[in-house]
Structure 1
Amino acid sequence: MKELLSTVVSPLLRHPEELQISESKEGRKIKLEVKVDPEDMGRIIGKGGKRANAIRAVMKAKGTIDGVRVIVDIVE
């Protein structure tokens, strides 16, 4: 799950080397926390949160296929 998120997010960033993703599992729930360079925060969230919502939709679809609930948090 972490690898898929990295593949989706990395091309959006100016500083992909600063990308950090932490994954925690609780039963059938996976929480992914994404940390990026402050300069890239707007690029990953997008206008009106559209990119962030699209990223969450992709991860939710993968979670549905795998039978788990996926939560993606973008943190500073």
Structure 2
Amino acid sequence: MKALIESIVKPLVDHPEDVHVREKEEDTKVVYHLTVHQNDVGKVIGKNGRIAKAIRTVVYAAKSDSTKRIYLDIM
């Protein structure tokens, strides 16, 4: 899942080397923390959050068969 998030985000930003995804697994959920360069935050979020919503939709649709919920946190 980390590779999927990186492959979606890296073409969108000016500093692809600063794209980092951390995974935190809990009892009922898996949280992915996406960190990008400070100048690229707006590009990843998009106008009114449209790009962030689209990224989350793809990630949620690609989730595995696990019963845990998937969350994507953009920093």
Match in the other structure for 2:8: 8
Superposed counterparts of 1:46-61, under 5 Å: 46-61=46-61
Q: Counterpart amino acid of 1:61? A: A
Structure 1 residues 6-48: Cα deviation after superposition (integer angstroms, max 9, x where no partner): 1111110100000111001124521000110011000000000
Runs ≥4 residues deviating over 6 A? none
Match in the other structure for 2:24: 24
Count of aligned pairs: 74
Alignment gaps of 5+ in structure 1: none
Q: What secondary structure does 1:31 align onto?
A: strand
Give the TM-score normalised by the residue count of structure 1: 0.89
Alignment gaps of 5+ in structure 2: none
RMSD after superposition: 1.2
Between Structure 1 and Structure 2, the one with more helix by share is 1
Give the TM-score normalised by the residue count of structure 2: 0.90
Match in the other structure for 1:66: 65
In structure 1, what is the Cα distance between the partners aligned to 2:5 and 2:29? Answer: 16
